[in-house]
Every structure is written in structure tokens, then in C-alpha cells.
Amino acid sequence: MKRLVLISALGLFLSFVLVSCYEEIPNNPVRNKPPTTKIFLEPDSSISKQPSKINIHWTGDDPDGMILGFYFSFDGISWTFTTKNDSLFELKIGAVDTIYNFRVAAVDDDGNGKYDIQINQNNINFGPEPFTDLNNNSNWDNGEAYIDIGLIDPNPAILTLPIKNSAPVMSWNVLSSLPDTSLPAISFGWNVTDLDGDETITNIKIALNDTASAVFINGAIRTITLRTKDFENNIPLMDILIDGNPNNMAPVKLPGLMFNENNRFFVQAEDISGAKSGWITLPDSSHSWFVKKPKGKFLIVDNYKIVDDAASFYNAMMDSVGLPDKFDILDLQKANLPYLNTTFLETIKLYDAILWYTDNDPSLDVANVTVQNYLEAGGKMFLSMQFPQEIDLSQIQGFLPFIEADTSYYSATIGVNRTIGSADILQYPNLLTSRSFARVRSFKLTSVGVTPIYYFPNGELKGFIGFESSSKNIFFIGAPMQRINGIPGSVKNLLIKVFFSDFNLSP
């Protein structure tokens, strides 16, 4: 009997101990503590006025666990999760300087072991837990990896960023320079940057001679060509060709050009806030830029590098055919045109007809880019052109498509008193060499689109040295005309025939 009482007492004691132990466990739990966050800029950065591109750093500390990542926000409403400790931000500015309050909160790794479609902590909705959307349905599905968000710092670190708008900075493109003299077609190009992003540049302002008369063009434009054919107005409006493209003109025209006077071009950039770069100008104070008013419908392009009487000969010929003081001269060697191909094309398009003469080192690249474009715009062209000893015929076929491939004939020289016969003597005069000339080339021509005219009847060369398109908009002769005028008046009569009959132009 005593033994039973002892066992019962022992059982009651053990029960009391066990109950006491279980009652003490919830009274002293070890709770997870939230992490803390710090935020800072690079050591050499200033918080007073930052540019709109800024590198921000942050760090977190968890007293009882690991830092899983961070949430950051610029408005305290929309939060983004990252595992990184820094990022470069492009802070967009409005019309004025802007203040941003950047917040970042560390996250620990004590998650609940399941995917949460909303994380709400500290009266902040951080949105759904980040996950890998394998099927791109924008919803978390079983099997898709996710980040199990633990506790989030209840006191996010805050950095106030007053963002100062930076004004654009401009400079001239390396191709932008102005000759001392030009006709009313010229190109300009500039560089412009903005620390706030080049996309913040909203306007480019351009002006001729007076910035008070500036016009606005799109802020993305970097190259323009200006031209005008309004020769009746002493201060004409100029077309603005974007990137030199006549099919892409600005909706505004530029005033201010002064014919037969010195001119000056101005450009300035403006960003979304209204901040402006300084004006840059061409030409600078070291020289002037004189713009000639065209005298008439005809332009001589001097592409002759050999020193002889070519320039005076062609001047005299133009006078003799009834065009005194009705033509202009563009010397390609001296012109120094910026953006050569574009500016040259728009310059020759100011005229109805071009007489382009060369020695045997012509500007073939320019011819390939411009001749056909000029003809398609309605122009007429007379070419007196020679070629180098070694040449790829494709360099010529680009602007003289009537030449058959690999069918040219070459002679090192043609002597004096050599006849250049006309296949149509009633229309085109025979020619005779008065002086020898070197590196002579003739061609076999296609059967369509061209009229063969001049050849060597005495067999010096096969093929034809002179021909004209069937549409009568381009005439070619492969000889220097001042050296084939051995029959007095022959070159004059050829010019009259081509200019006023074939090209159907009037003096």
C-alpha cells in the first residue's frame, strides 16, 4: 500500500514538472529581428546638386540572420526588389530642377516557406514576391522559383536628391567648315550632348546673321543643308534639308541670308527644361563667308588641276555662245565645300545646266554620287572629262551607264592635227586637235539609251570618245576642249548645238 502511494506521488511530481516546462516555453520566445539599412553616395559625390545620372550605394545588416536583398523606391509607393548593393539611375527631369527622395529597405532571409502574392509589412505594400515566370503568364505557378521574403526594415533609409538640370553642350562636327565664298547651298553639322541624356534635347535653334530670327528644328537633328532658289528676293527664305535629304525638309524655312554679302550661321541647343547651350557660330572671327547670288542658268565646274589655259578658254567660250555674265564658276579645288557630296549636289541643282571639265584626275567619287541625282532632278550636263591610266570602269559606269563593261580603249597620247570625227556631221561639227593630250580613252557603247557621236576616223582608237544620252540630258566627250579646237569655231558650235538645241535651253 505504501508502495502505491509513493508511485502516485512521483507521478504527480513529474506531471507538475512537465506542465511547468511547457508553460515556460511560450513565455520566452527568441523572435526574429528586422534588418537595418544604410544608404550613401560615392565618397566624392555631393548631395546638394546632382546631375541626373547618379550612382547610389546601400548596405544592410541583420543581427540574427542573412540579408536576402533590398527593396528601393523613388516615391514610397512603387517598390523594386534587387539583390545588388548599388545601381546607376537616370533621373528624368521636368521643366525645372527636381527633388527625388530615394528609399531603400533591407530584407532578411527568414521567409515563411511559401509563395505570397502580396507582401504587406510596416503599412507598406511591396507587391508580390519576386519569381521566375517560366511560362510568361505574369502569375506565379507551382514549380517556379521565387524569393521568399523575410522581414523588411521598418525604417527604410532615405536619401534626398536635388537634381539640377544640366544645359546642353554644343560643338561643330569635324566636317563643318565654311569656304570664303559659296553659292546659296551649304551644309552644317554639329555635336550636342547633355548630361541629363541626349533625349532631353528638345530643340535646335538655327539662325542666319540675326539670332532674333532663329527658327526651331527637332532636337535630334545633327546635320542640315541650307539652300534656296529664290533669287528674286535679296533676303530669301532657305529650305532646311535634314541630313541633306531633299525629301526630308523641316516644316519651317530659315530667313536672314544676304546675297553678295558676308553671312554668319548660328546654332544653339535647348533641353526639356528650357536650359540652353551657348550659341556657336560659323565662320569664326578669323574669316568671312560670302554668298554669291547666281547670275543665270549655267554653271561651270572647274575640276582641272593641270596648269594651262583651260579656265580662260571656257570663260571665253561661254561669252562667245551668248552667255556673257550669265554663268558662274565653281572651282572644286578651291571651293572646300563642307559635306562635299551633299553640298555639291544641292549647289549644281541651283542651275539648269552644268559644264563640268576635268583633266585626267577627275573627282569620280563626287560624280558617282551626284550626276545621276542631278539629271533626275531635271538638270542637263556637259562633261569634258578624262580619266587616269588605270581605272575600274565601274567607277565611270556609275554616272555614264551607256559604257559597256570591260570595253574601253586606251592611248598614252594623241598628237596634233588628229581628227575627231562626227558620226552626224550635219548636227555636230568635226573637231581637230590643236595640241596633244595624254591618257586618252574611248569606249564601246550599249545599243540603247545612247547616241554615239565622236570617234577617231583614222583609227587611233576604237570605239567612241563622245556620245550623248538618248534623252538628251547628258553629253560626254573624253578630251580637253581647249586642245581640240583646231578648226576655228568648232568647239563654239558644239556648245551651241548641245546647250541650245539638245538641252533646249535659252541664253
174-198 tens-digit pLDDT: 999 999 999 999 999 999 998 877 8
Proportion of the chain above pLDDT 90, given as a percent: 79
CB-neighbour burial class of residue 11 (10 A; exposed 0-12, middle 13-18, buried 19+): exposed
Q: Are residues 321 and 440 in the same domain?
A: yes
Number of domains in the chain: 3
pLDDT digit string, tens, across residues 34-74: 999 999 887 655 555 556 678 899 999 999 889 999 999 99
Among residues 262, 291, 320, the one where a domain terminates is 291
Same domain, yes or no: 96 and 120 = yes
If asked whether residues 349 and 266 sit together in one domain, one would say: no
In a domain, 17, yes or no: no
Residue 416 CB partners (closer than 8 Å, separation 6+):
433, 434, 435, 436, 486
Distance, CA of 115 to CA of 78 (rounded, Å) = 20
Residue 317 counted as domain residue: yes
Q: What is the CATH number of the domain that holds 393?
A: 3.40.50.880
Angstrom distances, CA of residue 187 to CA of 2, 149, 240, 242, 376: 121, 60, 10, 10, 21
Residue at 28 is within a domain: no
Model confidence pLDDT, tens digit, residues 354-400: 999 999 999 999 999 999 999 999 999 999 999 999 888 888 999 99
Return the percent helix, strand and coil in the chain, to nearest 5: 15, 35, 50
Residue 285 lies in a domain: yes
Residue 366 sits at φ, ψ, to 5 deg, of -65, -45
Claim to verify: residue 121 and residue 183 sit in the same structural domain = no
* Whether residue 138 is found in the same domain as residue 190: no
Q: Are residues 306 and 391 in the same domain?
A: yes
Based on the fold, state whether residues 267 and 402 are members of the same structural domain: no
> How many helices (H) does the chain have, and how many strands (E)?
7, 31
Cα separation of 281 and 283, whole Å? 6
Residues 49 and 156 both lie in one domain: yes
| 211 assigned to some structural domain | yes
Among 294, 93, 38, 84, CA closest to 181: 294
The span from the CA of 238 to the CA of 226, in Å, is 6
Last residue of a domain, one of 143, 163, 183: 163
- How many angstroms separate the CA atoms of 257 and 238, rounded? 8
**Higher local confidence (pLDDT), 14 or 416:** 416
What's the pLDDT score for residue 8? 37
Per-residue DSSP letter, 394: H
DSSP code of 429? Answer: -
In a domain, 138, yes or no: yes
Q: How many CB atoms lie within 10 A of CB 309?
A: 11
Q: Are residues 222 and 364 in the same domain?
A: no
Same domain, 356 and 313: yes
What pLDDT score was predicted for residue 415?
Answer: 97
Segments in 398-501 forming alpha helices (H): 490-496
Residue 90's pLDDT is what?
79
Q: Which of 163, 191, 220 is the last residue of a domain?
A: 163
What's the pLDDT score for residue 234? 84
Same domain, 420 and 490: yes
Establish if 31 belongs to a structural domain.
Answer: no
State yes or no: pLDDT of 21 exceeds 50: no
Q: What is the largest CA-CA distance in the chain?
A: 161
Q: For the chain, state the CA radius of gyration.
A: 41
Is 16 contained in some domain? no
Whether the CA torsion 333, 334, 340, 341 is positive or negative: it is negative
What are 65-100's pLDDT values in tens digits? 899 999 999 999 999 999 999 999 877 666 567 788
Q: What is the domain-level CATH number for residue 276?
A: 2.60.40
Q: Does 286 lie in the same domain as 244?
A: yes
Q: Which of 364, 300, 336, 309 is nearest to 495 (CA)?
A: 300
Domain of 359, in residue numbers? 298-502
In this prediction the pTM is 0.75
